[in-house]
Amino acid sequence: MRVSDLPLPDEVIAHHESEGITELYPPQAAAVEAGITGGTNVVVAVPTASGKTFVAELAMLTAGGPALYIVPLRALAREKYETFSEVPGVDVGIATGDLGSAEELGGSDVVVATAEKVDSAIRSGASWVDDLACVVVDEVHLLGSQGRGPTLEVTMATLGRRAPDVQIVALSATVANPEEIAEWLDAELVRSRWRPVDLRTGVCAGGRVDFDDGSTLAVAVDAEADDRGVGTATTVELVRGAIDDGGQCLAFVRSRREAETLAARLAEESVGAASAVAADVRDAGGTDTGRRLADCVEGSVAFHHAGLRSEHRAIVENAFRDRRLKCICATPTLAAGVNVPARRVVIRDQQRYTGSGMEWLPVLEVHQMCGRAGRPHLDPYGEAVLVAGDADREELESRYVGAAPEAVESQLADREALRTHVLAIVASGFAESRGGVLDVLDATFYAHGRPEESLAGLVDDVVSDLVAWEMLTTGEGLAATELGTAVSRQYVAPRTGARIVDGLRTMRGMERVTGLTALEIVCDTPDMHGTYLGNRERAAMYQYARSHADEFTTSMGETETFERWLEAVKTARILLEWADGASTDDLVEQYRIGPGDLESRVERAEWLLGAAAAVAAVLDADGSAFREVRDRL
C-alpha cells in the first residue's frame, strides 16, 4: 500500500514522500485495513520501530476533529510534539507542565499530553474534552504499571464517557494479552512481529554470543579479567565491536553509579570524540555530575539516568539521534519510550535491587531494551546481547530470549490509586452515588471480565477512608465536600490532602511556624518523591530533626514510620537550603543526590505547597507559610 493512496491532504503526502516514505510497512497497512482512517477503534501491538507513530498520525488526521495524543513521559511528549509539528497544516499543542494546573488545552488540531495532564483537565471540567474526535494512547501496556497504570486506565474510561463517539487508538509493544485490551476497548487488533530492521537476540557467555537465528559472534575477553564475573569487560568489548563496525551502541546497567562508571571506562577506550556536544553539556550547567558527563562525552560516550538534569538528558538523546555520540550507558528507564535506536544493545545487568533484594527484570522491560536495536534506514540489522555475568547462558535464554512478555494486568485495585480516582469521579460530577461510581469504574480495564462485586468491596473501603478524611459525605448519596473538591482539583492524592489537613491543624497550636514547617508537611506525603538516606548521614539528620523539633508538625516519638519521616526531613532540609540560596553543586555534594533529583523535588514542592495553600483557604487556616516558602523556591 502506498502513502499516495491514503485519504490525507496532498501537502501531507508530499511531506512524507519528500522524506522517502512512499510505501506503508505491513503493520501500517494492516491498521488501514482494520479501519484506522475510518474511525474504527484499533489496538496496534507491534515491535519498536515498526511505524506506530505514523499509524497514530493517520488516525488523528482523518478523524474529522481535534485529536489527543497521550504519552507516559514528558521527554516522549516533546519528541512527539516535534514530530507532529513537522506535518504541514497541522497545529500542534503540548501540555506537560505543572501537575497542579489544568489550563485550557483546546484550540489545536493535535494536543500531545501526559495522562496525568489529561486526567487533571477532566477533573477540572475542561470543555475541550467533549470535542475530541480521536484519542491515541501511546505505550498502552503501561496499564500494568503500578505508578502510571491506574491514572491511564481511569482517564481512558472517563474520556469515553465525556466523548462517547471518540475514536480510540492504542499503541503497544508486543504483550501477552493484546486481545484482552482490544476487547476492552471494542477495538480491532493489529498484532505483528514484523520489524523494518531484522533483530537478532543472543546471550554472551564464555567469550561467545549465541544468537537466536543460529549465528554466533566471538568476543575476545579474558574471563578472569571480566571484573569478577559481572561482565563489564565483555560489555566494553561488545560496545567497542559495534562502534568499530560503524554502528552506535546502548549499554544498559542496573544503577546510576554503574552507568557513570561504565561510561567513564568506555570514554578512556578512545571510541570516538564529540567535543561540540561536550561543550553543549558544559554550557547547560556546571554541577559535578554535569562535568563528569561532559568528560565522558568528550570521548563520544554519555551516561543517562534520572539524576541528570532534564536539559542534559535532552542533549544526550538528541546528540545520539544525530549520530554525534557513539554510545549511551543507561539505566533501564531510557528504554521506556524515548526514541534512541542503536546498531547494538548490550544488557549487562538483568537484575536490580528493589529494596528487599535483587529481582529479575520483567521480560517486557528487557524486550523493550532489546527493541532499541536496529536503526531504520541506517542499519542492515540490529543486535541485542544479554551478558551472562553471574547467570548462565541457558537461564538467560529461557528467561528472556525465548520467552513471551508478561500479560498486562490492571493495578486499579491498589487502595491508594482507587481513593484518588473515586474522589475525582464524585468531585467531578461523574457520579452521585455508590452505584454511580461503580458504573463509571465498570468501563475500566480492571472491571473488564470481572464480576461487579469484586470492585464493589474495594469501593466501599475507599469511600470509608474518604468519609473519615472529611472529603466525601454519605447522605442520600455520595457528595464531595469543599475539602474533597479542593484536594481533587489540586491533583494531589487524598492521603496527601489528609496529611496537609493534619499539619494545618497542628500548626494552629505551634509557637514557631517557619518555611521548614511547611516543607516538612508537604515532603511527608505520598506525592513527594523520597530522598535516599544513607547510613553515614542518618545520625546527622537525626540531630537536625531534634534541633528543629519545635518547627515540625510531627513528634519524633509518635511517627509510625520514623525512617520514612526522617527521609522527608532530609528532603525538606535540602529544599529549604535551596530556597535560601545554596548552590546545586553544594547540595548535590553534601546530600548525595543528583541535580535531576533536586530539579524534580523543587518542581514537586512548588506544586504541593500551592496545593497546601489552597487547602488552607478551604479550612480558613493560615496558609502563609506555604505561600512564602513557595515564592522563595
Query: Which class for 425: exposed (0-12), middle (13-18), buried (19 or more C-beta within 10 A)?
Result: buried
Residue 231: its pLDDT value, please?
87
Higher pLDDT pick, 378 / 491: 491
Which pLDDT tens digit goes with each residue over 393-411? Answer: 999 999 999 899 999 999 9
Residues 148 and 218 reside in one and the same domain = no
Does residue 517 fall inside a structural domain? yes
- Predicted pLDDT at 226: 62
Examine the pLDDT at 64 and tell me if it is beyond 70.
Answer: yes
pLDDT of 99 > 50? The answer is no
Between 116-125, 145-154, 185-194, 341-350, the lowest mean confidence (pLDDT) is in: 116-125
**Are 22 and 91 in the same domain?**
yes
User: Are 437 and 567 in a shared domain?
Assistant: no
Could you tell me if 287 and 306 lie in one domain? yes
Q: How far is CA 130 from CA 158, 162, 445, in A?
A: 11, 6, 22
CA–CA distance, 336 with 361 (Å, rounded to integer): 13
Do 450 and 563 have their domain in common? no
pLDDT tens digits, residue range 164-217? 899 999 999 888 999 999 999 999 999 999 999 999 999 999 899 999 999 999
Average pLDDT over residues 561-576: 94
What pLDDT, on the 0 to 100 scale, is given for residue 450?
83
329 DSSP β-pair partners? 251, 303
pLDDT confidence of residue 337:
58
> What are the φ/ψ torsions at residue 389 (nearest 5 degrees)?
-80, -90
Report residue 119 as a C-alpha cell: 486526567
What integer pLDDT is reported at residue 377 of this predicted model?
A: 81
Give the pLDDT confidence of 340-366 residue by residue, as tens digits: 889 999 999 999 887 778 899 999 999
Q: What share of the chain is helix, strand, coil (3-state, %, to 5)?
A: 50, 15, 35
What span, in angstroms and rounded, lies between the C-alpha atoms of 577 and 552? 16
What does the buried/exposed string (b/e) look like for 528-556 if buried means 16 or more CB atoms within 10 Å of the residue's CB?
Answer: beebebeeebeeebeebbeebeebbbbee
Write the CATH number for 581.
Answer: 1.10.3380.30
Residue 253: strand pairing partners: none
Confidence of residue 565 (pLDDT cuts 50, 70, 90): very high
Contacts of 377 (CB under 8 A, 6+ apart): 20
Kindly state whether residue 30 falls inside one of the protein's structural domains.
yes
Whether 566 and 525 share a structural domain: yes
Half-sphere exposure of 290 (CA within 13 A, CB side): 21
Q: What is the CATH number of the domain that holds 133?
A: 3.40.50.300
Q: How confident is the model at residue 380 (pLDDT cuts 50, 70, 90)?
A: confident
In this model, does residue 369 exceed pLDDT 50?
Answer: yes
Instruction: State pLDDT tens for residues 513-530.
Output: 999 999 999 999 999 988
pTM of the entire predicted model:
0.92
Instruction: List the domain range (segments joined by +) for residue 563.
Output: 494-632
**Looking at 459, 489, 519, which one is the last position of a domain?**
489
Q: Give the three cell numbers for residue 290.
A: 554535569
Tell me the β-bridge partners of 311.
Answer: none
| 289 located within any domain | yes
Do 609 and 592 lie in one domain? The reply is yes
- The more confidently predicted of residues 622 and 230 is 622
Q: Are 306 and 442 members of one domain? A: no
pLDDT at position 592, please? Answer: 87
The Cα–Cα gap between 442 and 549 comes to: 47
Residue pointed to by grid coordinates 461503580: 438
In this prediction, residue 102 carries a pLDDT of 45
Q: What confidence category does residue 223 fall into, taking pLDDT thresholds of 50, 70 and 90?
A: low
Which of 333-347, 371-385, 545-559 is predicted least confidently? 333-347
Residue 448's CATH number: 1.10.10.10
Question: Each residue of 402-461: pLDDT tens digit?
Answer: 899 999 999 999 999 999 999 999 999 999 999 999 999 999 999 997 877 788 899 999
**pLDDT reported for residue 151:** 94
Q: Rounded CA gap, 152 and 71, in Å?
A: 10
Q: At what angle do helices 434-441 and 149-162 cross, to 10 degrees?
A: 100
Residue 206 bridge partners (DSSP): none
Tell me, yes or no, whether 152 and 301 share the same domain: no
Same domain, 382 and 526: no
Q: What average pLDDT does the segment 108-124 reach?
A: 90
Q: Which residue in this structure is represented by grid cell 554470543? A: 209
> Average pLDDT of 608-626?
97
pLDDT tier for residue 56 given thresholds of 50, 70 and 90: very high
- In this prediction, residue 240 has a pLDDT band, given cuts at 50, 70 and 90, of very high
The number of domains in the chain is 4
Confidence at residue 55, expressed as pLDDT on a 0 to 100 scale: 96
Q: How many helices and strands in the chain, by DSSP H and E?
A: 25, 19
Give yes or no for a contact between 160 and 343, defined as CB atoms under 8 angstroms apart. Answer: no
Amino acid found at 474: T
Asked whether residue 288 falls in the same domain as residue 395, the answer is yes
Q: By C-alpha distance, which of 383, 305, 369, 361 is closest to 173?
A: 369
Average pLDDT over residues 459-480: 95
Looking at the domain assignment, is residue 408 inside a domain?
no
Decide: 316 and 302 in contact? Cβ < 8 Å: yes
Residue 407 placed within a domain: no
358 beta partners:
353
Task: Find the DSSP H helices in 124-231.
Answer: 149-162, 178-184
Q: Which three cell numbers stand for residue 501?
A: 489537613
Query: Are 42 and 18 within one domain?
Result: yes
Closest CA to 141 of 103, 180, 104, 105: 180
Q: Could you tell me if 300 and 326 are in contact, meaning their C-beta atoms sit under 8 angstroms apart?
A: yes
**Mean pLDDT within 255-260:** 94
Instruction: Determine the 3-state secondary structure of 164 from DSSP.
Output: coil
- Confidence class of residue 224 from pLDDT cuts 50, 70 and 90? low
Average pLDDT over all residues of the chain? 91
pLDDT, position 101:
45
- Residue where a domain stops, chosen among 473, 489, 505: 489
Look at residue 473 and tell me if it is in a domain: yes
